[in-house]
Each structure stands twice: as C-alpha cells, then as structure tokens.
Amino acid sequence: MLPFDILEYQNRLSETKQRMAERGIEVLLVTDPANINYLSGYDAWSFYVHQMLVIVIDEPQPIWIGRNQDANGAKVTTWLSEENIIPYPDYYIHSTINHPMEFIAGKLKQIGHGKRYVGVEMDNYYFSAKAYEQLKKHLCYATFKDAGLLVNYVRIVKSDQEIEYMRRAGKIAEAAMKRGIENVRTDKRECDAAANIYYQIVSGTEQFGGDYPAIAPLLPTGENTSSPHLTWTDRSFQHGDSVIIELAGCYKRYHVPLARTISVGAPNKELKRITPIVVEGLNEVLESVKPGKTCGDLEAVWRKCLQKHGIEKESRLGYSVGLNYPPDWGEHTASIRDGDHTILRPNMTFHLIPGLWFDNYGIEISETFRVTEKGCETFTNFPRDLIVQDPFSFNKQDGKIS
Amino acid sequence: MLPFDILEYQNRLSETKQRMAERGIEVLLVTDPANINYLSGYDAWSFYVHQMLVIVIDEPQPIWIGRNQDANGAKVTTWLSEENIIPYPDYYIHSTINHPMEFIAGKLKQIGHGKRYVGVEMDNYYFSAKAYEQLKKHLCYATFKDAGLLVNYVRIVKSDQEIEYMRRAGKIAEAAMKRGIENVRTDKRECDAAANIYYQIVSGTEQFGGDYPAIAPLLPTGENTSSPHLTWTDRSFQHGDSVIIELAGCYKRYHVPLARTISVGAPNKELKRITPIVVEGLNEVLESVKPGKTCGDLEAVWRKCLQKHGIEKESRLGYSVGLNYPPDWGEHTASIRDGDHTILRPNMTFHLIPGLWFDNYGIEISETFRVTEKGCETFTNFPRDLIVQDPFSFNKQDGKIS
C-alpha cells in the first residue's frame, strides 16, 4: 500500500529531527497535509477538520491525531503502529463549544509533552489562528516556536523514487493538455474542455491511474486571460478566443504542472508579438539551469531577456513543486525571483511559469523541470509555443487535431 | 457576469453589518473564500495566497485586497468599484521576509481603521496563526474580536435564487452518480470511475455547465469503506467489492452532495443487514423535517430508529451545506446532532448523511434537502437504497445499466 519504502519515511523523519534539533524544537506539530503525508504516508481528504502528526524528537515513530472516523484511514495508509493512531470524538467537529486542539493539548500533556519546546507551522492553511490560541491556552507551560516550512525544506530535494512519480505525473499532464486542447473548439463549451482535462488527469494513463490535483484546471478565456486564476464558464468557445490552460498531472500526490496558451483561429497581434519573447526567455532560463546557481540567477536570465523587448514582469517566475494537497501544488519554499538565494541542487524540482498578464489579455507557457547534475530535465514534452487551434483542421470524425 | 442581482449582494451586506453592530465590530476582515464570494461575487482559485474582503460598518461597499495578478479577476467577477480593489505586490507571496498582512495592516491604517474594533474569522483555513500574529503586530491599536462564522450564519438561510442554483447542482449530482455507478464494474479501474464522475460534475448538463466541487469525489472500496475520506486507487474493481461514492454536483459554487453505496455483484451479509436500517432511518428523518424543529430533534429521530436495531452512530448525522470552496462544502454552522439547538427555517439546506463505518466496512446513503414551509424537498431523485451492480446486467455495447 505505501508508495515508498519504510526506510525512505524514516530517512525523512531523521532529517526532520535534525532540523528540529538545530532550532531547539522537541515536539513538532505537523498540520500541513503534504508534510503529514511525507512523513507518515497518510493520504485522505480529511484535512478539512483539524488533525496533525506529532514528531517527538526522542521517539522513533510519529503520532497521528485526527477525527475518529478517519482513524481507519490512518491505519490503512500509514506505516505507524496502531497505538500511535489517536482518534478524537466527533463532538469536536465544527462545534461552537468544543475545539479539537483542546483534546490534542490534553493528549500531549498526558504523554508528557506539556512543558516542552513545541514547533507549529504558523502560516499553514490547516493551522488557523484559533487552533494556535487554543493550543496556547491548553498547553500553557509549553514554549511555542514557529516551525513553518521546516518539513517543506526537507521536501525540496526529491529522492529518485519521488522523481519517478513526477515523471509519471508528467505523462499524465501531457495527456491532459492534449485532451484539453482537442476540446477547445467552437462546438464545445469551456466546461466541456475542463471536464475532459479533469477526466484525463484522474484516469491517468493505461499504465497508471491519476490523482486529484491540488488546484483545479484553470481555464480563463478571452479578456479573462488577463487574470491567471479564473476558472471556466459554460460559454461556448468563439472564433478568435485566446484560452490559457494551466493544469497539473498528479501521481501519488506528486504534481507536474503545465501551462499553454491557445488561440482559436489565427492569433491576435498581441499574442503574435509576445509569444516568441516568452518562448525565448523560457528556453534561455532552462538552458541556464545548473547546480550551484541560485533561483535569483535564473530570474536574472529571464529579466535580461525581457528587457531587450522593453517588457517587465512583476510576479515571480516559478516555484518549488512536488507533493501536495489543495489548495496549492507549490511547496512555499524556493521561488524563482530576484533576491531568492536558494542554491540549485540536483533533484530540486520547479514549475517555471513565465506568465504575463496585461489589462485585457495574458499568456502562459510553462515547464516543470528537475535540476540534474549538469543542467535540467523537463517532465513533459509538449510543443513549447502558442497553440493555434484552426477550426478547419479538425477531423470531425474523432475530434482529434489532424 | 454576476450570478445574483446587485440588490441581493447588498441585502447580504446589510444583514452582515447588522450582525457586526450586534457584536460591536466596526471592521470585518473576511478571509473565508465562500464568504468573500457571498458578499462580493469574487470567484477565482486565488485563495491559496492571503486575500480578504474588508467590510466597514459605515461604508457602502466592501474593499477587496489581494495579490496584484488577481486584481483583474476581482474587476471581472465582483460588483465593486475599481477603487475598492486594492492589489498588493508579488514580493509578499510565499516570502520568508514579507507577509501580506503587513501590507494589509498598512492599508487599513492608511484609510483610517487602525484603531477600530476589528473582526477576524479565527478558525478559517485562510486565516492562519501567522496572519493573525502579523495583523496584531502591525495594527497594534486595533481591538480584535472573533467574528468566526458571522457571515456563515447569514448564509444559512438561502434565497430563492440560491435554491434554484442548488436545484441545478442537484441535477448535476444525479447525472454524476449515475455515470459513476455505470463505471463501477470489473473491467474498469477505480480511477476510471472517479474520472467519469469528475467529467460529469464539471461538464454538467446540456442546459448548464458544472463547477469544480469543494471536495474531490470520494470513492473508498472494499475494506477501505471503513473510512469515509479515502479516495480512489488504480486497482480494478473486483466481483464482491463494495464501493462508496460520495460526490457533489456544483453550480456557481453551490453544492448538492449525494452518497450511495454500491455492491459489485451480490452484497455481503453485513451490507444486506445494515442497508434497510439506514434507509428506514433516513426516510424517518426526512419525514420528520419541519420548520420550528431543531437539528437535535432530527438526530433524535435517527437515534431512536437505530436503537431498535442495537446500533449507535458516534458521528454527526449531517450539516448545513451550500456555497463553498475547497477544502469543504459544509458551512460549519448547524450540524444535525444531539445538542444542536438550531431551529429549522424554510430554505435552510442540509446534507443528511447517515454514514456508518465499522472495522472492515461502511455504508453511506445520503440526501441533500431544503426545509420547506411544511416539510422538506430533496434536491436529487436517485434510488434510495444499496445499488447492486450485477456484472451480467451490463449492456456491453454502451456500458449503460440495462
């Protein structure tokens, strides 16, 4: 059942403990579902209620604490012994009287951690302001430290097995992009294209099934391409539309994002002008990737390339990517931007997304890559260009691009 | 573009302000994406970065504050004037140096709200412990109050237009369940069934397109049905499997969840025994729904019914449902459980999910309903029973249940 050897989980755990020791943290409360999965294998859509993995620096196994009805899921998906799976009663769920952190604090005190140095992931979606207040109230002798991104930084360099899973996610991303583009046509609605993308992401390939992505496929159309995070409507595609598809293939929760811009019929003059600039910049950045350089170095290559054409990009150029859960597939550690001094190391993985958004249109052509010993490897092999969807090139029989 | 009349948004806003006044809140910082949408129309997958809607008690329009690249999305999807859309620079995103709440606090001070009574949604996914710490630090003269669920309780009674959207979501849920069940068969993998469900949810019907659901379709199989929140694998269905499908149709972000249990071939004796009990309990609860009763009253009907058969259910029986974003479609207000004194009113909407999970199997048969003047209306019309998928009853030609 486990996607990795137990030894790999134990290595991750000891790397985590080493960082805890460096920061003077004795007990780490992991609430980020990707970090919980990374250290224990736990995989379920139960993160909408409070749950956590407790890492005690001087104990061999983490402790899972979560909702009673999810405890069987923890038994099925993790490498933990049953006595390390602690359920809390359902009356703590979405209650105005009881809060799960009260139970959790009580449990931590009971097993002797009430007065220790406790690390919490301060800026995580699944560690709310109230969760923190409740913990502080009920663990009043503990000393809290911000352990935000501690585990995320362990995740930043992937193992070969993780890379293999990302290669599979890449295959799924390719297939989903192909299927999406085939459905961007004037006899289809935006929601039908999105439905086809979702189908392919989840079905995967014949060899391996897909997983749900941490972000829904994004599919802004026409003027809506001026904003990257709009989703689809049920409007039919029109001749002359430009469409941005940003999606990720996902395998065992490992993501490979991919973005392309499509023009239905001949592209407008803005897209014609901007596309070769974006492609040139993207290619130059990929060619410049090398261990030892920093994320900021990569952004400088892009900026220089753009400056030649008198264009500036305000937003970051990319970010570390891999294992994740909704609402984001980014790892929140390294960003490819000016001032990020993260040094590139083999098996770091990034989504390089030189998106540009103007007042009434935008463009995205992206690649996800792995840093290799000498350069980089992209996870997908898809035409790195504006995709022109000529309505007359369809083979009506099978709906495929001829 | 807006799914509701501006007047409806303004009614929601004045109802919100009335509750703010009752609680002594002058400035409400809304971070729950469903609440942001409810009051402004804002709809984009941008909630993975910090953003908020600011409701000032003595000002006519809310203020949207978010990431620069999402500001165009706010212009396109909300009823707000452009001067009420305030973007922050990208260097605040996933940075170890800058935090968006620093910018937001600065802006609030600048427009004169630095010393007011400020409400924050303490237990929301999108209001992290760090967000609160940063706000307190940079708005040191403000007085903070917990405004958790303040807007959620405005949402609890739906308008007729919202109900109409939920009816459409119900049609989508029916179609998706049908398509899912058709694909639970021994020549398919679990991921293929999930892919078909996703396809139908997003594509919707011929009349109207679907939206992404706040929770992925859940599809535990075999022993995994003992835990409700496990998703699919790429294993093929086997004769004798039991499968739980829990999904939601979604229209304009309004959800109608629906769960059914399927047996591939003849059901085992546990399912045979438990199914009529669950169906009887479900029917009795639905028949007992009436304005003026409480949520606790409904649970008592269920409990009494179960007691006759010597069964107990530890977890709640249902919850208020409607407009939402990942990671949950529940509204976190009323729960159908013992001790919940919420009085039922017409146009309240609930997902009634009498799920039972035992050590090695589980069952879910659910309905989503609206409280009417005299009783209730269910949003879907789907056989309320265990679905037996006889492998020999397939019409091989079209894969439909014959």
Residues of A in contact with B148 (CB under 8 A): 130
- pLDDT(A67) > 90: yes
Answer whether B227 sits within 8 Å of A76, measured CB to CB.
yes
| pLDDT value of residue B394 | 47
Whether the CB-CB separation of A214 and A255 falls below 8 Å is answered with yes
Answer whether B228 sits within 8 Å of A199, measured CB to CB.
no
- pLDDT(B398) > 50: no
Using CB atoms within 10 Å of the CB of residue B216, give its burial: 0 to 12 exposed, 13 to 18 middle, 19+ buried. Answer: buried
Per-residue confidence at A396, pLDDT binned at 50, 70, 90? very low
Mean pLDDT of chain A: 95
Q: Residue A45: beta bridge partners?
A: none
| pLDDT value of residue B392 | 57
| pLDDT value of residue A171 | 98
Does A239 contact chain B (CB < 8 Å)?
no
For the stretch A372-391, pLDDT in tens is: 999 999 999 999 999 998 76
| Facing residue for A69 by CB, picked from B93, B227, B326 | B227
Answer whether B209 sits within 8 Å of A233, measured CB to CB.
yes
Query: Distance (Å) from the C-alpha of residue B360 to the closest C-alpha of chain A?
Result: 9
Using CB atoms within 10 Å of the CB of residue A324, give its burial: 0 to 12 exposed, 13 to 18 middle, 19+ buried. Answer: buried
| pLDDT value of residue B401 | 42
**How distant is the alpha carbon of residue B63 from its chain centre?**
25
Answer whether B94 sits within 8 Å of A319, measured CB to CB.
yes
- Average pLDDT (A97-117) is 97
Phi, then psi, of A64 in degrees rounded to 5: -95, 130
| pLDDT value of residue A313 | 85
- Average pLDDT (B327-344) is 97
Residues of B in contact with A350 (CB under 8 A): none
Residues of A in contact with B189 (CB under 8 A): 203, 209
- Average pLDDT (A4-16) is 98
CA A57/CA A323 separation, integer angstroms = 24
Residues of A in contact with B326 (CB under 8 A): 326-327
Over pLDDT 90: what percentage of chain A? 92
In angstroms, the Cα distances linking B297 to A326, A362, B283, B317 are 35, 54, 15, 11
pTM for the model stands at: 0.96
Does B192 contact chain A (CB < 8 Å)?
yes
Per-residue confidence at B56, pLDDT binned at 50, 70, 90? very high
For the stretch B170-213, pLDDT in tens is: 999 999 999 999 999 999 999 999 999 999 999 999 999 999 99
Size of chain B, expressed as the number of residues it contains: 402
Does B226 contact chain A (CB < 8 Å)?
yes
Helical spans, DSSP H, in A41-99: 71-77
Tokens found for residue A29: 């409360």
Does A187 contact chain B (CB < 8 Å)?
no
| pLDDT value of residue B371 | 98
DSSP line for B249-308: EEETTEEEEEEEEEEESSPPHHHHHHHHHHHHHHHHHHHH--TT-BHHHHHHHHHHHHHT
Answer whether A209 sits within 8 Å of B232, measured CB to CB.
yes
CA A122/CA B191 separation, integer angstroms = 35
Element (H, E) at A10: helix A6-22
- Average pLDDT (B353-362) is 90
ipTM metric: 0.96
| pLDDT value of residue A399 | 41
Q: Please tell me whether residue B80 adopts helix, strand or coil conformation.
A: coil
| pLDDT value of residue B312 | 87
Does B361 contact chain A (CB < 8 Å)?
no
For the stretch A276-317, pLDDT in tens is: 999 999 999 999 999 999 999 999 999 999 999 999 888 999
Residues of B in contact with A210 (CB under 8 A): 191, 195
Does A358 contact chain B (CB < 8 Å)?
no
Does A73 contact chain B (CB < 8 Å)?
yes
CA B320/CA B349 separation, integer angstroms = 6
Tokens found for residue B358: 């035992």
- pLDDT(A257) > 70: yes
| pLDDT value of residue A107 | 97
Answer whether B90 sits within 8 Å of A223, measured CB to CB.
no
Higher pLDDT, B402 or B14: B14
For the stretch A269-283, pLDDT in tens is: 999 999 999 999 999
For the stretch A335-354, pLDDT in tens is: 999 999 999 999 999 999 99
- pLDDT(B232) > 80: yes
CA B376/CA B208 separation, integer angstroms = 25
**How distant is the alpha carbon of residue A16 from its chain centre?**
20
Answer whether A327 sits within 8 Å of B47, measured CB to CB.
yes
- pLDDT(B214) > 90: yes
| pLDDT value of residue B267 | 94
Whether the CB-CB separation of B215 and B326 falls below 8 Å is answered with yes
CA B242/CA B264 separation, integer angstroms = 6
- pLDDT(B399) > 80: no
Answer whether A69 sits within 8 Å of B233, measured CB to CB.
no
Answer whether B70 sits within 8 Å of A228, measured CB to CB.
yes
| pLDDT value of residue B313 | 86
Does A144 contact chain B (CB < 8 Å)?
no
For the stretch B134-143, pLDDT in tens is: 999 999 999 9
Q: Give residues with Cβ within 8 angstroms of B192, minimum separation 6.
A: A203, A209, B183
Q: How many residue contacts between A and B have a Cβ separation below 8 Å? A: 241
Q: Please tell me whether residue B94 adopts helix, strand or coil conformation.
A: coil
| pLDDT value of residue A394 | 47
Q: What is the DSSP letter of B392?
A: G
Question: What sign does the dihedral B176-B177-B179-B184 (CA atoms) show?
Answer: positive
CA B68/CA B86 separation, integer angstroms = 8
CA B80/CA B173 separation, integer angstroms = 32
Residues of B in contact with A69 (CB under 8 A): 227-229, 314-315, 355, 357
Does A66 contact chain B (CB < 8 Å)?
no
| pLDDT value of residue B393 | 53
Per-residue confidence at B23, pLDDT binned at 50, 70, 90? very high
For the stretch A169-210, pLDDT in tens is: 999 999 999 999 999 999 999 999 999 999 999 999 999 999
Query: Distance (Å) from the C-alpha of residue A227 to the closest C-alpha of chain B?
Result: 5
- Could you tell me the end-to-end alpha-carbon distance of chain B, in angstroms, rounded to an integer? 41
- pLDDT(A402) > 90: no
Side chain identity, residue A195: A
Query: Distance (Å) from the C-alpha of residue B134 to the closest C-alpha of chain A?
Result: 10
Residues of B in contact with A131 (CB under 8 A): 123, 129
Over pLDDT 70: what percentage of chain B? 97
- Average pLDDT (B257-271) is 95
Among A301-305, B93-97, B183-187, B310-314, whose mean pLDDT is lowest? B310-314
Reported for B88-93, long-range contacts at CB under 8 A and 24+ positions apart, including other chains, are B89/A314, B90/A314, B90/A315, B90/A316, B90/A337, B91/A337, B91/A339, B92/B50, B92/B67, B93/A315, B93/A316, B93/A335, B93/B49, B93/B67
CA A162/CA A4 separation, integer angstroms = 9
Whether the CB-CB separation of B69 and B106 falls below 8 Å is answered with no
Q: What is the DSSP letter of B68?
A: G
Query: Which of A85, A199, A332 is most worth mutating to test chain B (most B CB atoms within 10 A of its CB)?
Result: A199
| pLDDT value of residue A312 | 87
Answer whether A44 sits within 8 Å of B227, measured CB to CB.
yes
> Please, which residues 146-165 of chain A have a Cβ atom closer than 8 Å to chain B?
146, 148-149
CA B97/CA B78 separation, integer angstroms = 31
Does B224 contact chain A (CB < 8 Å)?
yes
Over pLDDT 90: what percentage of chain B? 92
Does A70 contact chain B (CB < 8 Å)?
yes
Q: Please tell me whether residue B5 adopts helix, strand or coil conformation.
A: coil
| pLDDT value of residue A391 | 61
| pLDDT value of residue B391 | 62
For the stretch A119-172, pLDDT in tens is: 999 999 999 999 999 999 999 999 999 999 999 999 999 999 999 999 999 999
For the stretch B155-171, pLDDT in tens is: 999 999 999 999 999 99
Answer whether A209 sits within 8 Å of B189, measured CB to CB.
yes
Q: Give residues with Cβ within 8 angstroms of A60, minimum separation 6.
A: none
Higher pLDDT, B399 or A83: A83
| Facing residue for A73 by CB, picked from B89, B125, B227 | B227
Query: Which of A219, A227, A328, A351 is most worth mutating to test chain B (most B CB atoms within 10 A of its CB)?
Result: A227
Question: What sign does the dihedral A132-A133-A139-A143 (CA atoms) show?
Answer: positive
